[in-house]
A = this chain, B = another copy of it.
Amino acid sequence: MKGEELLNRHLDMVDEEIKKVFESRTHPAQLYDMMKYHLGWLDEDLKKVEQYRGKRFRPTLCLLVYNAISGVYDKALPAAAAIELIHNFSLIHDDIEDMDEERRHKATVWKLWGISQAINVGDGMHVMANLAALRMADQGVTSEKVVEVLRILNETIITLCEGQYLDMSFEDRLDITLDMYLDMIRRKTAALVEASTWIGATLATEDASKVNNFRGFGRNIGLAFQIIDDIIGIWEKAEQTGKPKASDVRNRKKTLPILFALEKAKESDRKTLKELYSRPRLTDEDVEKVLSILESSGAYEFSKKMAEDYERTALQELAETGIENEAIADIKALAEFLIRRKY
């Protein structure tokens, strides 16, 4: 598939850049090796390994946007590396916060080395992101731009923390509105995709309206991406996701389709759904009941349409840049891949 091939083509470029940040620090080795494990470079015994490393789609977007405007990649590499490191630092900490024992079919850092080490490994990865970004200065990016990009990156990280706070604070509540949910995913998920295209454009041009269009593309495709994730978590076939059927329902996650039903289903269904979601654990039968409420409320159609709306807005923003070249075609193919994926 075009999108997958595209990602593979950029993956090594991103990882080579990240490796340069690691080269400057080597002691104590195990701290950095635990980070490398999380990045998919080392196995549990901290030996080198060839395995799935994640999609690296955020840095790829950053590189493609920079390339679409400038025709090259070079100056965007440090920021692309920084974006991937921010994503991974937040995953390491999220895994502790959510007590997730597996990520990308491997044990999480806290599961292997304990919570204390994992907090510190995440903190280290957070710093590595800023150190990666500071390498821009060595790539001939002006200090003014370095400061501008660092400001975007750090405003984005605090926005991620805001989203994570909101997500955790929603856990024990059944009064979350769709608007509250959209505000949360805008911060927790879309902000970093937005930063990827925003920074790619900021590094390549002084044209504020183009920068804004690319930024808008990132934000909207990020929102669509999260909603697709929500749909997959409920309706995608288990053989595609590698997780149990309707795993998000089973874990009583309050994603978009559920919140839609809690707000818009007929009253008796809303009541049943609330009652089911108040239980500590859902049986297979409960899960089926939730799925049938979602179906009769039209939650799937609603969510699908919302994702498509965000995707359409994203593509409009992209068209408004007025740029047409191979990199733009790649960005479209990547967006298509992220939205049509089944896992």
Contact = CB atoms under 8 A, between A and B. Distances in A.
Interface of A: 25, 27-28, 30-31, 90, 93, 96-98, 115-117, 119-120, 122-124, 126-128, 130-131, 134, 137, 142-144, 146-147, 150-151, 154-155, 157-158, 161-162, 164-166, 168-169
Contacts of A169: 28, 30
Given A130-B130, A147-B146, A31 B165 contact: yes
B120 A161 contact: yes
Contacts of A90: 123
Contacts of A123: 90, 93, 122-123, 126, 157, 161, 164
A221 to B, nearest CB: 24
Given A142-B143, A147-B146, A115 B117 contact: no
Contacts of A31: 161-162, 165
26 contacts: A27-B162, A28-B162, A28-B165, A31-B161, A93-B120, A96-B115, A96-B116, A97-B115, A97-B119, A98-B116, A115-B115, A117-B168, A119-B122, A120-B168, A123-B161, A126-B126, A127-B157, A130-B130, A130-B150, A131-B155, A134-B147, A134-B151, A137-B147, A142-B143, A143-B143, A143-B147
Given A30-B165, A124-B161, 19 more contacts: A25-B158, A25-B162, A27-B162, A31-B162, A31-B165, A90-B123, A97-B116, A116-B168, A120-B165, A122-B123, A123-B123, A124-B158, A127-B154, A127-B157, A127-B161, A131-B151, A134-B151, A143-B143, A146-B147
A8 to B, nearest CB: 30
Contacts of A122: 119, 123
Nearest to A123: B161
Contacts of A127: 154, 157-158, 161
A158 B127 CA distance: 6
Contacts of A119: 93, 96-97, 119, 122
A230 B95 CA distance: 35
A212 to B, nearest CB: 21
A143 B146 CA distance: 8
A146 B169 CA distance: 36
Nearest to A153: B130
Contacts of A162: 25, 27-28, 31, 124
Contacts of A168: 116-117, 120
Given A28-B165, A117-B168, A137-B147, A158 B97 contact: no
A120 B143 contact: no
Nearest to A128: B158
A30 B165 CA distance: 9
A93 B93 CA distance: 11
A232 to B, nearest CB: 25
B158 A134 contact: no
Contacts of A124: 158, 161-162, 165
